[in-house]
Amino acid sequence: MPALVMNATGCKGRLLTDFTALGLSTKLLDALAGANFTTPTPIQEKAIPLALEGHDIMGLAQTGTGKTMAFGLPLIDTLLSQPGKPLPKTSKALILAPTRELVNQIADNLRVLTDGSRIRVVTVVGGQSINRQINALSRGTDILVATPGRLIDLMDRGAIDLGTVRHLVLDEADQMLDLGFIHALRKIAPALGTPRQTMLFSATMPKQIEELSDAYLTNPQKVQVARPGKAADKITQSIHFLSKPEKPKMLREILSKDLDALTLVFSRTKHGAEKLMKGLVADGYNAASIHGNKSQGQRDRAIKAFREGEITILVATDVAARGIDIPGVAYVINFDLPEVPDNYVHRIGRTARAGRDGEAIAFCSPEETDLLRQIEKLMKIELPVASGTRPSRDAKPAGKPGGGRNRGRSNSQKPKSSEGAPAKKRRRPRNRKAA
């Protein structure tokens, strides 16, 4: 059944101007007041009343719009109204997210709201002690926030029984699909209890998300606050057209203008992020990096230092930065344009959060012209030019950003091994006579 689109009014047609109009429990309202939350965001206005009624939800909203509270508040309110503690090795609710950072971010937000209550929140992610997680699950939990891979590891070890789960949340569902977690979801879903309420939240709506909704949601109510591909209104965007070798110098010029501002710099690859960070540190900039080659502890420490202003420049890859929710980020710089247009929207959504202003700056080399065109087509805008000259529409891209399988390569363009040396040609094994 197709999802229903709801307007921004409550169930009785009354405009929701603050959280008190939602009928939330007094304890939850006190927690909101203590955290200085007074007015729901648009996605919260639309989703919370429907979720409190028990509907399945398919929420579409750009990053930084308050999606965690949109599913977290009704989930916590429902669990507070249910008597009894969770049994050992069980959970009442499950939230799945694609990255460790996002899992931790969600859990931190929920704990602010459940502090002092009987609601227990447990996280399980890769890169941390699985024995410690097994011990945490042995006591049971009300809300389990997990990455799919580690959750399956724990299921295989008999550390968690998901048969009591009556609430499922899929956060950043589009990113989970991009990372190939659909196979994990197919293994997790049959283990969940029924009937259950399922809420799916995504920043974009590709065809696969519609298929996911059809497979796991029942008569979902669709809530949407911005068209896919639209950036937050308070983000000022610009682009610099320059050659690839000119990028490091331009980056330093921009960073030097506001050294105290929190700046998030995106690189396309893990190696590129680390190299860029080390170059900045060598030049005296206060920088750190997060990417897939960093341990979980290293990533957590870098994000904590960035949040607290101990470092002011964080160089990141797309996946590693997915869970960053730091209201103080003033600038997002796309040192490399992403190969997936949707990721541009996610990247720049790291600034202008919680009602603040923000600036997103992109660099575009000739090799990235086609990537830029895809981004502008998705967003239905043309980014303002800060420097350089925009290539004409007739101009062909200079080549793929990461190289490509180009015919007629010279010897200097031959592929290299991971150590940087020219890759050796494999010899065919000689035919051996049978003994």
Among 29-33, 118-122, 346-350, 410-414, the range with the most confident prediction by mean pLDDT is: 118-122
For the chain, what is the radius of gyration of the CA atoms? 24
pLDDT (tens digit, 9 = 90+) per residue, 387-406? 999 998 766 666 666 544 33
CATH topology for the 235-400 domain: Rossmann fold (3.40.50)
Burial 158-187 (b: 16+ CB within 10 A, else e): ebbbbebbbbbbbbbbbbbbbbebbebbee
Q: Which helix (H) or strand (E) holds 330?
A: strand 329-334
pLDDT (tens digit, 9 = 90+) per residue, 148-179? 999 999 999 999 999 999 999 999 888 787 66
Asked if 166 and 118 touch (Cβ cutoff 8 Å), the reply is no
State the distance between the two ends of the chain, measured CA to CA, in whole angstroms. Answer: 67
* pLDDT of 240 above 50: yes
Classify domain 4-224 by CATH number: 3.40.50.300
Asked if 59 and 133 touch (Cβ cutoff 8 Å), the reply is no
pTM greater than 0.75 (yes/no): no
Asked if 108 and 123 touch (Cβ cutoff 8 Å), the reply is no
Domains 4-224 and 235-400 alike in fold: yes
pLDDT (tens digit, 9 = 90+) per residue, 179-236? 678 889 999 999 999 999 999 998 777 778 888 889 999 999 999 886 555 666 678 9
Which stretch of 34-38, 236-240, 299-303, 326-330 has the lowest confidence by average pLDDT?
34-38
Q: How many CA atoms lie within 13 A of 396 on its CB side?
A: 2
pLDDT (tens digit, 9 = 90+) per residue, 65-107? 788 999 999 999 999 999 889 999 999 999 999 888 889 989 9
Domain boundaries, the chain: 4-224, 235-400
